Chains A and B, each alone.
Chain A
Amino acid sequence: MKKIFEPDAAYQPDTFAFKDPKKVKDILGRYPQTHQGRRSAVMPLLDLAQRQTAKEGLKADPPHGGWIPRAAMDEIARMLDLPPVKVYEVATFYSMFQLAPVGVHLIQVCTTTPCWLRGSDRILETCREKAGIDLDETRPDGKFTLVEVECLGACVNAPIVQINDDYYEDLTPELMEDILDALEKDKKPKTAKTAKIPGKTPESSPRRKPGSS
């Protein structure tokens, strides 16, 4: 899916400022003070900006999840002395970066071949029904956004869903329902580990005793 980016939309704030100068300094300190070095700082700074809006979003009405306003990208470009387009290039490339407001819980369903073979269609269907939204939609109360993503790099435990920073693996429609139920009640869902079927990692490899990996 092509990322939504509306630079002149009403929801775009005019300015952006990092709230945690210490973190910013820490990030800048990680890389050499050269042109290339500073370019390396683009990604962690984008991430920091996204986390900052996520935190603020919890208190907003309706609440929203983490996303990167255009003003933040321009601010990063200014801080790093880069042409803004160099920041835009990175931000539009990676699916971790959201460029428009999303729900508090961003449900990213992997539908690439391995996950698809392991039943991602049914997982997606469950999400649709449970969250009450279709792909690329955000629920009006700001709780959920549902998107489809390409391989999340965890095919070994397919099918996979990523919600914000967490991976949920070896999913079945039932597990998916539990997860969404928990999120609906603002509870922490059981994570992938607890949901895992003992001894099944990965299915095609020789059986291993639990914990003997």
Chain B
Amino acid sequence: MPKLTINGTEIEVAPGTSILQAAESLGYEIPRFCYHDRLSVPGNCRMCLVEVEGAPKPVASCAMAAGEGMIVHTDTDRVRRARQNVMEFLLINHPLDCPICDQGGECDLQDQAVAYGYDRSRYRESKRAVPNKNIGPLIKTIMTRCIQCTRCVRFGEEIAGVTELGLLHRGEDVEIGTFVEKAVSTELSGNMIDICPVGALTSAPYAYKARPWELRKTQSIDISDAAGSNIRIDSRGNEVLRILPRLHEGINEEWISDKARFCYDGVSRGRLDTPWLRDEPGAKLRPVSWEEALTFVAGRLRKIRAKDMAALAGDLADLESVVALKDLMTQLGTPHLDCRMDGARFDPSSRANYLFNTTIAGLERADCILLVGTNPRWESTMINARIRKAWRQKKGALPVGLIGEEADLTYPVEHIGETAAALKEIIGGKHPFAKKMKAAQNPVLIVGSAVFAREDHGAIAHLLGELARKYDIIRDGWNGMNMLHGAAGRTGALDVGFVPQAPDARGMAEIIEGTRSGAVKALYLLGTDEFNARADIGWQCFVVYQGHHGDHAAMRADVILPGAAWTEQDGTYVNVEGRPQFARQAVSPPGEAKENWKIIRALAERLNIRLPYDTSAHISARIAADWPHLAKWDVLPDHTEIGAWDLKGEKGDLSGGVLASPVRNYYMTNPLCRASEIMARCHAAFPKGRDADSGSEDKTEQEAAE
């Protein structure tokens, strides 16, 4: 362990630590442009120069490993002058157009120019100009501002796994581009906007909208998938202007998917902002007051027996409203509840059955991964990025097998088979991948929840159990069995038991069936937008839809109760790992729309049922009383308590058919995305959200590692 002295303070660091990192751990800030702690180190901007005693010239601290006995100065006159000179060179060709640049106020170059820039220019030659590039609908490029730090190039190559940007030409002519005009086809492209230290890559939808200091910043949670990425919502007045990632080492690190970043404009488009009511089946919906709508619903529900009612909780429902709805339905006496909008039918009695037990960060310890019926790239981008990270950390020595639809996941994948029959091959032990499973210390199995919506889910669950036992996927100190959901609200709803309340109670499919047979006479839909309600729900059933977008379900509803979207209310979301997180309210709901749990609370009142909570604090207390683990924000479940996966299934015949991923179109997975113009543009640019020829380098990188 080298010991060195930085500015007179001695410090011992792990071998291989750079001087920059060592200095940082002592609290000395070193300016930098090209260095980024999650990317490789090119050492090409020279801004991080420091003085090392004995070295003839200042050295680039990001690329120089700390050595035994080094004496480093980070803040001498010489260092300052060297950095000033670097800055002067960087600014020679920079347009200095901060007043019209969107990066203004949060620009590394601007900030560091304050510290190291001269107040006037000595440069009298003509400046160079670089043509802007068209690299897709999300990133606006103003390439004359680029300082060639190559962060964006390295991000594409290393994190996103899509090598499309490059550093082209040389010397004064050097530029960043794709050479052949091409949209950068990665679902992580928005992060390039964040890591670009200048205003060369900025957000196209946010262009010229606001200055960072005008924005109100609210901590929230992403709901575009179930990973629960941490985000920050930036708003001005009552308008959400952009979404940025927040650091969370356990989930998204400092990245988010493009869907998480750019679906926000869907919130304000196509909204339900007033209650609507249809007086009788077939009549037209007419806007009404809350009073009238709630009284009408209560009146109708009173006439229907509890066992003829049912309720469904949708993909984006927050924990509070699900609890309120469950409390209401329980008090009414209805056992027919379900939250599994994809029609999955697994046994939710043990939490370990439906959680991502390995945890997202835990994937880095995995040494063999088997994916069954899931495409993590489209179902949970951050989990896919983590698998890629693990694969890179292991220098390619991480076998990943896939049973299901073939897919490009940005890392090499062994496609074992399309149907569940391939599971038998693995269990048989003859398949080459089976040998890798056998040899693994920390094997991981990830099964998509959609697998359990199939007819033969019982037989598959049985096989999965057999496989888990055979390869010891759950062993001491390691739980490798995972279910991957796509819906942000799902895990929370399962946790509070928003599932059929009795063995003979109806689940999702039976409820829908019941509306047609007449067995279900009233149906309460809490933001359920993922099935074709208009076609599927029987005509005589009385349907109440509570939600924020006028999708299928709203059109079928007899009464529409407008609810807040996730940006407009406080709400708890439990991510796939079982980690409850709190999304704060950033703006207020439009028009008459109300917070979701309060709507249910008000309706209960009309039914003479008193739900024992009046404020957010009360409902939090209510949740904490029954589910104390859901009140502990950002705490992972204790696996010694919740036990192991025990989906038994039953031996049976497989029905064949491809184990397809439920995500058919990455940019259109929820009503917010479908209402979003930006997502529509992405959809047009990347028709299926997938690009067959991306990620080709990775296959070869793997060999490099061997």
Which residues of A line the B interface, CB within 8 A? 1-3, 5, 7, 33-36, 38, 70, 80-86, 88-89, 92-93, 150
Contacts and interface: CB of A to CB of B under 8 A. Distances in A.
B169 A2 contact: yes
B173 interface: yes
A35 B168 contact: no
A67 B178 CA distance: 21
Interface of B: 163-171, 173, 178-180, 696-697, 699-704, 706
Contacts of A33: 703
A14 B527 CA distance: 52
Given A92-B168, A92-B169, A93-B170, A86 B703 contact: no
Closest 6 CB pairs of A and B: A35-B704, A85-B166, A83-B163, A2-B173, A35-B700, A88-B179
Contacts of A81: 696-697, 699-700
Contact of B700 (A38, A84, A88, A92): A38
Given A3-B169, A92-B169, A85 B704 contact: no
Given A3-B173, A84-B180, A89 B167 contact: yes
Contacts of B165: 85
Contacts of B166: 85-86, 88-89
Contacts of B168: 88-89, 92-93
A147 B166 CA distance: 26
Contacts of A89: 166-168
Contacts of B170: 92-93
B167 A83 contact: no
A35 B170 CA distance: 24
A89 B174 CA distance: 10
A82 B701 CA distance: 10
Given A34-B703, A34-B706, A86 B180 contact: no
A36 B179 contact: no
A58 to B, nearest CB: 29
A84 B703 CA distance: 19
A34 B167 CA distance: 23
Contacts of A34: 700, 703-704, 706
A33 B699 CA distance: 13
A83 B164 contact: yes
Contact of A82 (B171, B697, B706): B697
Given A3-B173, A82-B696, A35 B180 contact: no
Contacts of B697: 35, 81-83, 86
Interface centre among A3, A5, A93 (most CB of B within 10 A): A93
Interface centre among B164, B179, B702 (most CB of A within 10 A): B179
A85 B700 contact: no
A82 B700 contact: yes
8 contacts: A1-B173, A2-B173, A35-B702, A81-B696, A81-B697, A81-B700, A83-B164, A85-B166
B150 to A, nearest CB: 11
Contacts of A1: 173
Nearest to B170: A93
A80 B180 CA distance: 19
Interface centre among B166, B696, B699, B702 (most CB of A within 10 A): B166
Contacts of B178: 85
A36 B696 CA distance: 14
Interface centre among B165, B173, B700, B702 (most CB of A within 10 A): B700
A202 B48 CA distance: 41
Contacts of B696: 81-83
A33 B700 CA distance: 10
A92 B171 CA distance: 11
A83 B167 CA distance: 13
A85 B703 contact: no
Nearest to B166: A85
Nearest to B167: A89
A198 B265 CA distance: 78
Contacts of B164: 83, 85
B155 to A, nearest CB: 14
Given A81-B696, A85-B166, A86-B163, 15 more contacts: A1-B173, A2-B169, A7-B180, A34-B704, A81-B699, A81-B700, A82-B697, A83-B697, A84-B179, A84-B180, A88-B168, A88-B179, A92-B168, A93-B168, A150-B171
A80 B169 CA distance: 21
Contacts of B163: 83, 85-86
Nearest to B173: A2
A83 B178 CA distance: 11
Contacts of B173: 1-3
Contacts of B702: 35
A81 B702 CA distance: 12
Contacts of A85: 163-166, 178-179
Contacts of A7: 179-180
A200 to B, nearest CB: 32
Nearest to B396: A35
